[in-house]
Amino acid sequence: MNTNSRHPISPHLQIYRLPLTALLSITHRATGVILALGAVLLIWVLASLSAGPESYAKVQPVLQHWFGQLVLFGITFSLYFHFCNGIRHLFLDVGMGFELETSDRTAKLAIVVAIILTIATWVVAAGME
Amino acid sequence: MSDYRTPLSRVKGLGSAKDGTSHFWHQRLTAIALIPLVLWFGFGLASLPTDYDSLTGYIQQPAIAVALILLIASVFYHAQLGIQIILEDYVSSHAKRTLMIIAVSFTCLICALIGIVAVIKILVGA
């Protein structure tokens, strides 16, 4: 490649700082994969419930362990992030919110609402303990 | 004329992927279905004690069981469609990509069926 060329070169991903909207796009995919694994976890819990109390008695301590709780917290945030950003994408699909300023604002809104929903869910859950 | 497609292929609107926009459309349909289901699931589950009797008692309500089955079906269909797009974008080897898509499709179908059967089993108390 001619390095003296004044042509712009494509963004070098290790140097180029992704704009917030691009960061949200890749996070949407990452949380989608996390949620697919979370869905398998849900099936494991449902299957153990259907197999009877002895079977669920082996699963419940795993979920209540601090690491299990941490995983569940991560899944909760992934769920609400994917939920909020997914709704944002549905608006983009019908052609709304493409302006730079608007898409940046809705990106921040999606993150804030996801955090609020995550905390609200865990506050409700903590109230049941 | 730059369009070399036959009038029949144009009217069918299926394009080179042979299934038109159905993948895109089903991804959006399941997304819309999941909006109320996810809110119900998140807060419904959070407001339950996690012992065996509370959880099974909750699922034994027919409306809850139906909602849970809808959630499982939508989630795994949505997941299969989504992961397929990720594989199509990032896995360049055609053979590897096809095998991975098949594996993901089968896994999603099997997980969904195990989940639905488990919900029905809990519902009828078998």
For B100-114, the pLDDT digits (tens) are 999 999 999 999 999
pLDDT > 90 in chain A, percent: 83
Domains and CATH numbers, chain A: 20-127 (1.20.1300.10)
Q: Give dist(CA A60, CA A52) in Å, integer.
A: 12
Instruction: Please provide the CATH number assigned to the domain covering B20-124.
Output: 1.20.1300.10
Query: And the tokens for A100?
Result: 């730079």
Question: Is-contact B125 B60, C-beta < 8 A?
Answer: yes
* Count of A-B CB contacts under 8 Å: 91
Taking the C-alpha atoms of residue B68 and residue B45, their distance in angstroms, rounded to an integer, is 11
Instruction: Give residue-wise pLDDT tens across range A79-101.
Output: 999 999 999 999 999 999 999 99
Please state the pTM of the whole predicted model. 0.89
Distance from CA of B19 to the nearest CA of A (A): 19
**Per residue in B113-124, pLDDT tens?**
999 999 999 999
The answer to whether B72 touches B113, Cβ cutoff 8 Å, is no
Chain B residue at shortest CA distance from A25 = B86
Statement: residue A13 has pLDDT above 70: no
In chain B, which residues have pLDDT < 50? none
Nearest Cα residue in chain A from B120: A50
Q: DSSP readout, A74-108?
A: HHHHHHHHHHHHHHHHHHHHTT-S-SHHHHHHHHH
Measured between CB atoms, which of B43, B55, B117 is closest to A49? B55
| Nearest CA-CA distance, residue B107 and chain A, Å | 9
ipTM exceeding the 0.90 mark: no
Given an 8 Å threshold on Cβ–Cβ distance, is B86 in contact with A32? Answer: yes
Residues of chain B above pLDDT 90, percent: 80
* Torsion over CA: B111, B114, B115, B117 (sign): positive
Three-state SS sequence of B10-25: HHHCCCCCCCCCHHHH
